[in-house]
Amino acid sequence: MFFLVPHNIKMPLFFWTRDGDFVLLIILILGLLFSIKLIRLFSERRSAYCWFVGGLCFAIIAILMDSFNYEGFGIDIQLIEQFIEELFEVSGMLSIFSAVFLMFNFYLQNFLSARD
């Protein structure tokens, strides 16, 4: 993105973004396509599935908040938006981490019970 911003590279499809921020939205789309495969993995355990879907929702909101252009607003609004966006990012990371931990625990229990 450091190359895109100084050269004013922007996609007209994503009209609400700043220069170079369309990359975030493209990565979001690719991540959602990839997460379709992961949802099947997490569907074996309901709690992990709920944590994963919740984490995806938090991540989507954080990326969409980051893509909007807040430069015209006052510094107070920009700081509040940045703070809320960071809360969504951390919540998304912790939710997905919880889902991965629950699935690891699930597979470990199955492995140890099959070994006995």
- Among 2-6, 22-26, 50-54, 66-70, name the one with the lowest average pLDDT: 2-6
Token pair listed for 111? 């492995």
Select the more confidently predicted residue: 29 or 17: 29
Q: Can you tell me the distance from the alpha carbon of 39 to that of 100, in angstroms, rounded to the nearest whole number?
A: 11
Residue with tokens 């949802």: 39
Residues 84-93 pLDDT 10s: 999 999 999 9
Decide if 99 contacts 48 (C-beta within 8 A): yes
Q: Can you tell me the distance from the alpha carbon of 73 to that of 102, in angstroms, rounded to the nearest whole number?
A: 42
Half-sphere exposure of 46 (CA within 13 A, CB side): 0
Residue 114 makes CB contacts below 8 A (sequence gap 6+) with none
Select the more confidently predicted residue: 95 or 37: 95
Summary mean pLDDT of the chain = 85
Q: What is the pLDDT of residue 49?
A: 96
Among 39, 35, 2, CA closest to 21: 2
Band (pLDDT 50/70/90 cuts) for residue 12 is low
Q: Can you say how many angstroms the Cα of residue 86 is from the centroid of all Cα atoms in its chain?
A: 11
Residues 44-86 pLDDT 10s: 999 999 999 999 999 999 988 888 777 788 999 989 999 999 9
Decide if 6 contacts 64 (C-beta within 8 A): no
Token pair listed for 109? 């229990």
pLDDT at 5 over 60: no
Band (pLDDT 50/70/90 cuts) for residue 16 is low
